[in-house]
């Protein structure tokens, strides 16, 4: 059976910047991941299956809507707590973190921020406990980086809305109970609708054949003349800023999360390099391997400071979308680099499921693409610093 020997690395003592509550949250989620996630995750990834039995435990350690107020079933925690939870979950697997990101930032966040009081009370407590699982439908087959060109649309039929179109690459879709779906009304304005499983004409076919994020369920959301009750429209937002605001929250969590995958790869490679003997010495004694390890911990340390500072700004409501883009782009790219270098340090063993590195590396190929690609986040930074839009 897989033995999880993970040890956290905190080269600049960033933990000292955290509160006792933050540290307790980290310990709780880390223990859950060690006990429930890492012993089984390789097997589920190999089988391309989401381990649904983890949902209850994920809810119990506060993974679903940790910053949502207590009266709606959340924990009322701060943004650094949210980041820590995402980091510990992604240390286990990016797919597990994905499920928590979608539930928290892409389903609970919009219902809390843009929903009516009735919607908040109906959906949030059940989403917080994992009794209901959510999905977020923005991307379409022909509209990924450019969601403003979406074609999914709805018509006002008097006593209900009639929704048509489809969404693609949707995390949690195959098993979701509810989906927050972004679609255009008859004036072409983007609006959010809550669609429930069981509504006639709504289906969620699974996407197969992924080499990445295999322990996460991905699928489509298909709407064929779906009658959506009028009370399911999110009343308090109009336009693309609705879904993009949700992305700010999810991208922030990913900036923390990707570091978890990076730390797991680095920790594995460091230990392996100390134990693996070639030419009569541990491979950690060779300068080439030390260079890789030293550069990894340097980049990880910079990224730890980046997300901590971003968390402080987010707690103060001062984090800008462009700052979040910078952190998402930087931290996911560095995690991929760390995964690639770690895999090399393990030689042939690095490609096997006996170690978590190859799984993290493949997962991160999705993470660098979803929630805005590496290129899109660079263009967001470019626009922010020059004032010139280079998207079009």
Contact residues: ligand FAD, CB under 6 A: 102, 136-139, 144-145, 169-171, 213, 218, 366, 369-371, 373, 375-376, 379, 391
Burial (CB < 10 A; 0-12, 13-18, 19+), residue 160, is middle
> Could you tell me which residues are beta bridge partners of residue 156?
161
Both tokens of 36, joined, read: 């429930």
By C-beta, is 182 or 272 nearer to ligand FAD?
Answer: 182
Choose the binding region for ligand TGC from 136-144, 276-284, 290-298, 327-335 (rule: CB under 6 A): 136-144
CB of 169 to ligand TGC, least distance (A): 7
Question: Hey, is 325 helix, strand or coil?
Answer: helix
Both tokens of 236, joined, read: 């308090």
Choose the binding region for ligand TGC from 10-18, 20-28, 78-86, 140-148 (rule: CB under 6 A): 140-148
Contact residue for ligand TGC among 145, 298, 344, 352 (CB under 6 A): 145
By C-beta, is 283 or 306 nearer to ligand TGC?
Answer: 306
Both tokens of 12, joined, read: 């600049």
By C-beta, is 311 or 372 nearer to ligand TGC?
Answer: 372
Count of residues in the chain? 392
Per-residue DSSP letter, 140 = B
User: Which residue has tokens 């799984």?
Assistant: 359
By CB under 6 A, the residues from 159 to 218 that bind ligand TGC are 171
By CB under 6 A, the residues from 102 to 121 that bind ligand TGC are 102
- Angle subtended at Cα 33 by Cα 30 and Cα 38, rounded to the nearest 5 degrees: 135
By C-beta, is 201 or 321 nearer to ligand TGC?
Answer: 321
**Nearest position to ligand FAD, beta carbon:** 144
Q: Which of 36, 220, 299, 371 is catalytic?
A: 371
What gap in Å lies between CA 71 and CA 379, rounded to an integer? Answer: 39
Binding partner at 161 among ligand TGC, ligand FAD, none, C-beta below 5 to 8 Å by kind: none
Contact residue for ligand TGC among 46, 71, 141, 391 (CB under 6 A): 391
CB of 226 to ligand FAD, least distance (A): 17
Binding partner at 244 among ligand TGC, ligand FAD, none, C-beta below 5 to 8 Å by kind: ligand TGC
By C-beta, is 248 or 289 nearer to ligand TGC?
Answer: 248
Binding partner at 137 among ligand FAD, ligand TGC, none, C-beta below 5 to 8 Å by kind: ligand FAD
The DSSP string of 170-234 is: EETGGG-SEEEEEEE-TTS-EEEEEEETTSTTEE-PBP---SSSTTS-EEEEEEEEEEEEGGGB-
Query: Hey, how many other C-beta atoms are within 10 angstroms of the C-beta on 203?
Result: 15
What gap in Å lies between CA 63 and CA 128, rounded to an integer? Answer: 8
Query: Hey, how many other C-beta atoms are within 10 angstroms of the C-beta on 361?
Result: 21
By C-beta, is 75 or 330 nearer to ligand FAD?
Answer: 330
Burial (CB < 10 A; 0-12, 13-18, 19+), residue 204, is buried
What gap in Å lies between CA 78 and CA 95, rounded to an integer? Answer: 23
34 and 96 Cβ atoms separated by less than 8 Å: no
CB of 57 to ligand TGC, least distance (A): 19
Q: Is 245 in the site for ligand TGC (CB under 6 A)?
A: yes
CB of 190 to ligand TGC, least distance (A): 9
178 and 194 Cβ atoms separated by less than 8 Å: yes
Give catalytic status of residue 371 as yes or no. yes
Contact residue for ligand TGC among 76, 141, 148, 347 (CB under 6 A): 148
CB of 281 to ligand FAD, least distance (A): 41
User: Which residue has tokens 């969590």?
Assistant: 253
Residues that bind ligand TGC (CB under 6 A): 98, 101-102, 136, 138-139, 145, 147-148, 171, 239-241, 244-245, 247-248, 321, 370-372, 376, 380, 391
Which residues carry out catalysis? Answer: 371
């Amino acid at each position: 059976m897989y033995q999880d020997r993970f040890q956290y690395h905190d080269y600049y003592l960033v933990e000292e910047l955290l509160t006792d509550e933050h540290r307790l949250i980290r310990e709780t989620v880390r223990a859950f991941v060690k006990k429930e996630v890492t012993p089984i995750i390789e097997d589920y990834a190999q089988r391309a299956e989401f381990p649904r039995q983890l949902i209850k435990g994920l809810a119990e350690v506060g993974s679903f809507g940790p910053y949502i107020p207590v009266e709606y079933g959340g924990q009322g925690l701060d943004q650094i707590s949210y980041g820590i939870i995402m980091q510990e979950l992604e240390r286990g697997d990016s797919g597990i973190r994905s499920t928590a990101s979608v539930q928290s930032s892409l389903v609970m966040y919009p219902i809390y921020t843009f929903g009516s009081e009735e919607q908040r009370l109906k959906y949030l407590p059940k989403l917080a406990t994992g009794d209901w699982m959510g999905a977020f439908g923005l991307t379409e087959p022909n509209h990924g980086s450019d969601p403003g060109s979406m074609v999914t649309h709805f018509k006002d039929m008097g006593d209900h809305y009639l929704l048509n179109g489809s969404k693609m690459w949707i995390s949690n879709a195959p098993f979701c109970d509810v989906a927050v779906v972004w679609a255009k009304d008859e004036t072409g304005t983007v609006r959010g609708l809550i669609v429930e499983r069981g509504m006639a004409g709504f289906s969620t076919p699974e996407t197969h054949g992924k080499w990445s994020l295999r322990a996460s369920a991905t699928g489509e959301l298909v709407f064929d003349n779906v009658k959506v009750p009028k009370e399911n429209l999110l009343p308090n937002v109009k336009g693309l800023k609705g879904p993009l605001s949700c992305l700010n929250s999810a991208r922030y969590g990913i900036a923390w999360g990707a570091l978890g995958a990076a730390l797991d790869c680095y920790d594995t490679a460091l230990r392996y390099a100390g134990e693996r003997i070639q030419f009569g010495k541990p491979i950690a004694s060779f300068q080439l391997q030390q260079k890789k390890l030293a550069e990894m911990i340097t980049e990880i340390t910079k990224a730890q400071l980046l997300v901590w500072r971003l968390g402080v700004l987010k707690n103060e409501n001062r984090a800008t979308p462009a700052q979040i883009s910078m952190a998402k782009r930087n931290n996911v790219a560095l995690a991929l680099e760390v995964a690639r270098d770690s895999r090399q340090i393990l030689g042939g063993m690095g490609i096997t499921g006996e170690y978590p590195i190859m799984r993290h590396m493949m997962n991160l190929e999705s993470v660098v693409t979803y929630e805005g690609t590496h290129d899109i986040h660079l263009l967001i930074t470019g626009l922010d610093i020059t004032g010139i839009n280079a998207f079009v």
